[in-house]
Structure 1
Amino acid sequence: MGFIDKKRHISRMNKKYNYNLRKYKKEDMKEIFELMRFIYPEEKYNNFIHRRRKMWEWEFLENPLIKKGEEKIWVAEDSGKIIGHVATMPVKLKCDDKYYIAHFAMDLIVDSAYRGKGIGQGLMEAWRDSSEIAIGLGLTPAVLPIYYKLGWKVFNTKKVLVKVFKSRKILKKLIKKENILLRTGEKLINSGLKAFNFVLSKPLKVDWKSIFEIYEFDSKIDIFWEKVKDDYNIALRKSKDYLNWKYTNHPYYQYKKFYYMGKDGIKGYVVLRESEEEGYCEGHIVDMMTRADDFKSMGLMVAWIIDYFRKNGVECIYFMTTCANQRKVLLRNGFLPLKRGPVFSVYSHDKDLLKRLWSFNDWFLTKDSSDLEISYI
């Protein structure tokens, strides 16, 4: 993890443009989606509107922490025309022994004809000023100038790991040459990967009956959270309502959810997903939690996950985690660290709290955090 150089990002900021900034109203929805349509022109119109509406309603209206009429959504207008939009996703954040309502910013968009006029900055200020804690994760280069303009610290997490079963996908990203060279390189790298995995992986006998799929999270997960919460200094609260909203009720992604059970209840849980990327199947460990020092349970779960994905024919597995102990277990099981990862930033008007939140190594973040669902290669 390290800071990102801001010098090259802030030069594009221009003087503010005279526009109207206000809270979202229900009748704005159609125009917001029309604006999104121009930002994402590659999808067919009807399919895009239908998908985006369902996602938007799930993210910003159905979240269990949002009370009707209290949504934190803003639009920017020019002569009655919506030219910008930002919405926020609330989460309950544990910081040491206290809980706070934090807000992730989502769907920050500005009409291309109005960019560079301070509109994105105004939308972000509205989000920041209305939030006890404001969090950005998975920030794009386009919005970094605004974060720097507002004086935020921005961290490059570099916390993504990958385990490769087959190398062709990665080679196609790295080698842009003839297929015969690709096939030759693939054989060599696959041999190296097999040797690497054999040396570093320490296969464990997994009790298959102790890890089983669930349809939805139940009250046992709330009991589990109370047991593990003090192991993690800064983390999203993993409640039954939050996890079911996030994974059981997602309008599009099909998540697989599993409990790892012991004699005294849940010892851990994991959420998995598979995706097709450029014709290749990827596995994603979206969320995983045990006691922070329970290396045995972590090792058993990781061994089981590897076997699960291998049987399903995935070519590589990704996991983004800031938990140092999880990373140790993953590395011992043949995962490799990538030199990239989602960009992270956090802000609070409480300066003492902000100083605490800037202790990035105390955060527990996974792909579960924010709406982060992207490939890192």
Structure 2
Amino acid sequence: MIKRKDMLKLASKNDHEKLKEFYKKAYGMTHILNDSTHTEWQFQKNPFNTIDGFSLVIVENDDQIIAHLGFIPVELKFLDSTKVAVWHVSLYTLEDFRGKGLGTKMIKLSNCYGDLSMVLSGSDGTKKIYENLDGKDLGNMNRYIAILNKKRISDFVTNNLEKNEIENFSIKKEQIRRIRTLDEDYDNFWNAVKERFPITVNRTKEYLEWRYLHHPLIDYHFLSLKDENKLKGFAVIRFEDNNNELKAARLVDLICYEDYDNIILKNIVKYCKDKSDFLDFFCTGMFYKKALEEIGFFNNTEAGIKIPVVFNPIDFSRREDINFFYNYHKEDKKNNILNNKNNWFFVKADSDQDRAH
């Protein structure tokens, strides 16, 4: 029973104990939102977060949190400018308080902090709210897969795998290497290469350090490709190999000059070949499609082979596709550009899709 009017607000450090109790009710004790290291990293330390506190919207009733929405501020390279956007994540209302429009109210409040709002892997309920706010569903991300160990994959899927194992390429010249700090010429590289992507995350040094290089929980392999001592591209790999059934290499980010697509992908395959059974890459758009297919990747969004998406542990109960929808809040809507999904470049590391567990 509702005892008093619901209170909608941004969360603060003073709400820590209430949030812990809410997460226990909503998600159980093992969910990553119970880990304060993760929540502080995601909702407070993000370099694009200009809020004095946490980028969390909560609804309180009778001094208890009854609904919750996380939003991750992000700067987009948006055509010939930059725009502030927010990723909506972890939208949840306790069962006794559903049907009151709290989700819509929380999303509207968070939308004040960006020109656009976006979702990856959104629920049907979130999609309905977006559509009611004039948002647009652009379908599923591509999931490209390279088979690195066909026998292991065949044994796991328990049927004859029709896809071939990718070859182990011989690299003669350009080679990727793992780095712990960004190259001095990174800014010049990004300012040039970003023109390849009409709409994508503005990958500033500060963003990459926060997202990958200084991540408190995940050991990302940040790989740099140089030619003639000039930065030509980078890739970010996460190895998920804490189980005996299947070992995965996840290509969670990839940026390079178009002339180096094949070169960097061959280097990535060689880097992962002896470490994993398969390599996958979630992305929107068609920016790397030609090179991926030439090298031997296939689009599993079309093929539908039952290779899990969630590891640590392997979980087939989670849906295999990652959908994408957005809402542009401004009047001068560029619908012909925004509604073309091939103008957007997002990857698995965007939003909250690549979490520690």
TM-score of the pair, normalised by structure 2:
0.84
CA distance in 2, matches of 1:233, 1:67: 25
Shift of 1:234: 0.9
- Counterpart of 1:273 (choices 233, 238, 258) is 238
Shift of 1:104: 0.8
Question: Aligned pair 1:308/2:265, yes or no?
Answer: no
State the match for 1:13 in structure 2.
none
Shift of 1:42: 5.5
Shift of 1:119: 1.5
Q: Which moved more, 1:133-142 or 1:226-235?
A: 133-142
SS in 2 for 1:330: helix
CA distance in 2, matches of 1:39, 1:60: 18
CA distance in 1, matches of 2:293, 2:284: 13
State the match for 2:352 in structure 1.
371
CA distance in 2, matches of 1:156, 1:323: 11
State the match for 2:200 in structure 1.
235
SS in 2 for 1:254: coil
State the match for 2:142 in structure 1.
159
RMSD: 2.7
- Counterpart of 1:351 (choices 331, 340, 343) is 331
CA shift in 2, pair 1:26/1:320, >3 Å? same
Structure 1 runs not aligned, ≥5 long: 1-16, 175-181
Shift of 1:354: 4.9
CA distance in 1, matches of 2:179, 2:290: 27
Which aligned pairs between 1:105-254 and structure 2 lie closer than 5 A? 105-166=88-149, 182=158, 185=159, 188-189=160-161, 192-193=162-163, 196-197=164-165, 204-207=169-172, 210-254=175-219
SS in 1 for 2:193: helix
Q: Which 4+ stretches in 1 moved above 6 angstroms? A: none
CA shift in 2, pair 1:235/1:311, >3 Å? same
The letter of the residue matching 1:299 is: N
State the match for 1:36 in structure 2.
23
CA distance in 1, matches of 2:327, 2:280: 28
Structure 2 runs not aligned, ≥5 long: 302-319
Structure number with greater Rg is 1
State the match for 1:332 in structure 2.
294
CA distance in 2, matches of 1:82, 1:172: 46
SS in 1 for 2:130: helix
CA distance in 2, matches of 1:155, 1:169: 34
Shift of 1:352: 2.5
Q: How many residues of Structure 1 are paired with residues of Structure 2 in the alignment? A: 333
Q: Give yes or no for contact 2:71–2:110 (8 Å, CA) kept in 1.
A: yes
SS in 1 for 2:186: helix
Shift of 1:55: 0.6
SS in 1 for 2:123: coil
SS in 1 for 2:332: helix
TM-score of the pair, normalised by structure 1:
0.80
Q: Give yes or no for contact 1:347–1:354 (8 Å, CA) kept in 2.
A: no
State the match for 1:12 in structure 2.
none
The letter of the residue matching 2:215 is: H
Shift of 1:22: 1.5
The letter of the residue matching 1:298 is: D
SS in 2 for 1:143: helix
* Deviation sequence 1:85-108 (CA, Å, 0-9, x none): 112211110111111111111222
- Counterpart of 2:342 (choices 361, 372, 375) is 361
The letter of the residue matching 1:338 is: N
Q: Give yes or no for contact 2:150–2:165 (8 Å, CA) kept in 1.
A: no
Shift of 1:170: 5.8
State the match for 1:289 in structure 2.
255
The letter of the residue matching 1:29 is: H
The letter of the residue matching 2:291 is: V
- Counterpart of 1:66 (choices 49, 57, 82) is 49
Q: Give yes or no for contact 1:159–1:320 (8 Å, CA) kept in 2.
A: yes
Question: Aligned pair 1:100/2:83, yes or no?
Answer: yes
CA shift in 2, pair 1:173/1:77, >3 Å? farther
CA shift in 2, pair 1:130/1:240, >3 Å? closer
